[in-house]
Copies of this chain bind each other. A is one copy, B any other.
Amino acid sequence: MIEPYDDTYFMKRALQEAEEAYEQGEIPIGAVIVANNQIIARAHNLTETLNDVTAHAEMQAITSAASFLGGKYLQKCTLYVTIEPCQMCAGALYWSQISNIVYGARDEQRGCIEMGTKLHPKTGMKGGVLAEECSQLLKKFFVEKRNLN
Write the residues of chain A forming the contact surface with B, with a CB cutoff of 8 angstroms. Answer: 47, 51-54, 59, 62-63, 66-67, 70-73, 86-92, 94-96, 115-118
Contact = CB atoms under 8 A, between A and B. Distances in A.
A91 B86 contact: yes
B52 A72 contact: yes
Nearest to A55: B63
A118 B110 CA distance: 10
Contacts of A63: 52, 54
User: Which of A67, A71, A88 has the most chain B CB within a 10 Å cutoff?
Assistant: A88
B87 A90 contact: yes
Total copies of this chain within the assembly: 2
A67 B71 CA distance: 28
Contacts of A91: 86-91, 117
A42 B90 CA distance: 25
A59 B70 contact: no
What 7 A-B pairs are tightest by C-beta distance, nearest first?
A: A88-B91, A87-B91, A53-B95, A88-B92, A51-B72, A54-B92, A53-B96
B67 A62 contact: no
Contacts of A51: 66-67, 70-72
Contact of A53 (B70, B87, B88, B92): B92
A87 B117 contact: yes
A71 B94 CA distance: 28
A108 to B, nearest CB: 14
